[in-house]
Structure 1
C-alpha cells in the first residue's frame, strides 16, 4: 500500500538512485555481496556492494556477478583508507557503476574527481554538519547521515540528533539519506517529512532470505534485543579507533586485546599510525568473516545495529521493503487525517 504522499516525499531519492523505493541497503562486509545486492535492486530498493578489503580483481568479479543477477542500478561502497582505492575506482568505472559510496573518512585528494570523471554519482557519510557542508562544497552528490545506533563502524551522535542538525541545513542543496537504528516504516515517514530524500537500513536486511549469512549468524540476530548491540570501547587515546557496534560476545573481548597489541606496536615504533589502523580494520574484516561465513558466533564479530530487536525472522527482501513502505504510507495517512 503506497500512498501518493509517500511517493512524492521519496521522489527526489528515487530519481537520484534510479529505483522505485528510496531505501538503500547499507554495505555490510561479507553480507552485501551479489545475492543480497541484486535482490535489493530487483525488489525496487537500492543494493550496495561492500568492497571492504577486496582486491581490484575480486571487486571486478563481484560487480560482474551482480550484473548477471540484476539489470537494475546498484552501488559500490569503497573504504577511503584502502591502499588501492584509485584502482578500485577504475574497476567501478570500467563497469559503468552508477553510484559510489565512500566510507571511513574524508575522501582522499583526487578521489572525488576520479569518481566523477566517469559520470558516477558520489555519496559520502556526514557525521557532523560542518563536514556535511565541506563535502557539499567539494562536489559530493549526496550524503548519508548515520547515527550511533547503526551496526558496524559508528560515530558518537544519535540519528535523531544528526537528522535535526543536518536535514534543515542541507536537504535543499543535495539529497540526504538517513541511517542508523531504522527498523520500521513509521521512522522512515518521519525522516522523509523532515526533508530526507530516503533512508539506509543494514541490520533489517542482514537476515533476509537472500543474505548468504550463516544460519547461526541469523539465529543470533533473531534472539538479540536492542541492548545486546553494544559499542566497542577505545582503550588507548593515542590509537583513534572508530568504535564498532556488534552483539556482545567473546569476539568483542578479543577486540580489546587486539587494541592493546596494536598500541604496544605503536609504542615500540614497529608500526606507524596508518599501519596500526589498517591492522585494526583487518581484525574486523577477519572477525566478521568468521561470524557471517563460518557461523562462529562466539569468536567472530556479530556487527548489528540497535534495530536488531526488530529482526525476528528470515524473510525475502521484497517482503521487507513492502512492509516498510506500507508502514510508512499508513503513518503518513494517519498524520494527514
Structure 2
C-alpha cells in the first residue's frame, strides 16, 4: 500500500473519520436481515463503521441487537431507524438508553420531534437527502451529517444516479460531512468522491458476501453469479397503481410481480376489484420476500435486493479483506 496514497486518503476523509470515530470513513449500508450483529461488528472491527439495520424490529429486539453487537466489538457503530416505523419514538429511546453514538434516519423526512429526541441524548444524527435543497433543510433542522444515495443502490431507490447527486450536492453542502452511497464497489470510486468533497462512502452490496455475514449461502451465491445488468429496478405497469422502485436481482419473483400487476389492472378495468383493493394486493406481493431470500435462501421467488455494484462481487471473503482491498485501491489511485 502506497504511503503517499495512504497519507492523502487519510487527509481526504479525515472529516469523516473524525465524525464516525473509525479508522476508515467506510460505512456499512444498513440492509434488513443482513446488517445484524455479526456483520456490523466485523465492519467496525476492520476499521469501517458498521450500522445495525433496525428494519421492522421492535424496541426489545433492537435493544438485544445493540447489546449483542457491543459484545462483539468495542469500536463505534450506528443504528439505522426507519422514520415510518410505528414505534419510532420507543426505538429512539432504546438508542438513548443504550448509549448509541450515531443514529441514521431513513425512509422519509424525519420529524422535528424525532430529531430533537435523538439530539437530546448526544447522538450524532445522519439523514438521507435526495436533493441539495432537502439536504440544506435537514442540516438546518439538526442533522449532523448527510448521506446521498443514488439509484444504483440496492433496495428502495430514488430516480437520480449517484454521480449526478454528488455533483449537485457536494459543492453546496459544506457545513456537515456528506457520505456518498449507491453503486460503489471499488476504492477508486471512493477516492474520486472524496476528491469531489465527500467525507466518506457507504457500501452495502460488497459486504453481503463477507464471511461474517449471516445471509444464506444461496443468497451469497446469487450475488457472485450476478452482473450489474441483473440488478434491476421494479417496474410499474400502470400509473394508477404506483410501485415504489426497489432494485433487486431479476428472478422468477420479479417476473411474477409484473404479471400480477397486469392481472390486477385487468381486473380493476373489468370492475372486479376496487383501486384500493388492487393497490393493497400489489403492495402485499413482496411481503416477507426479503426474509425468504436472505434467511431461507429462496432466491427464485424471494426478493434478492442488490445494487448494481453486484458485478464487482466475486468471492466470499472476510470483511477485513474487503475493506483492505477498498483502501488499497483508493491509495493506489491517489498515489498516481
- After TM superposition, the score normalised by the length of structure 1 is 0.92
Please say which structure displays the higher CA radius of gyration. Answer: 2
User: Who is 2:306 aligned against?
Assistant: 304
Would you say 1:108 and 2:135 are equivalent positions? no
Partner Cα separation in structure 1 for residue 298 and residue 241 of structure 2: 28
Would you say 1:13 and 2:16 are equivalent positions? yes
**1:286-301 alignment to 2 at 5 Å?**
286-301=288-303
DSSP 3-state at the match of 1:200: strand
**1:36-185 alignment to 2 at 5 Å?**
36-170=39-173, 172-185=174-187
8 Å CA contact 2:112–2:141 kept in 1: the answer is: no
8 Å CA contact 2:82–2:106 kept in 1: the answer is: yes
DSSP 3-state at the match of 2:215: coil
8 Å CA contact 1:53–1:285 kept in 2: the answer is: no
Partner Cα separation in structure 1 for residue 83 and residue 238 of structure 2: 23
Partner Cα separation in structure 2 for residue 121 and residue 42 of structure 1: 20
User: Who is 2:218 aligned against?
Assistant: 216
User: Who is 1:327 aligned against?
Assistant: 329
DSSP 3-state at the match of 2:89: helix
Once the 2 structures are TM-superposed, how far is the Cα of residue 255 of structure 1 from its aligned partner?
Answer: 3.8
Residues 197-226 of structure 1 deviation map (CA, whole Å, 9 limit, x = unaligned)? 000000000110000011111111110000
- After TM superposition, the score normalised by the length of structure 2 is 0.92
8 Å CA contact 1:29–1:285 kept in 2: the answer is: no
Q: Unpaired segments of 5 or more residues in structure 2?
A: none
8 Å CA contact 1:215–1:295 kept in 2: the answer is: yes
Q: Are the structure 2 counterparts of residues 35 and 262 from structure 1 closer, same or farther at C-alpha, using a change threshold of 3 Å?
A: farther
8 Å CA contact 2:101–2:123 kept in 1: the answer is: yes
Residues 63-105 of structure 1 deviation map (CA, whole Å, 9 limit, x = unaligned)? 1111111111101111111111111111111111011111111
Partner Cα separation in structure 1 for residue 261 and residue 66 of structure 2: 33
Greater mean alpha carbon deviation, residues 247-256 or residues 130-139: 247-256
DSSP 3-state at the match of 1:149: coil
Partner Cα separation in structure 1 for residue 313 and residue 233 of structure 2: 19
User: Who is 2:234 aligned against?
Assistant: 232
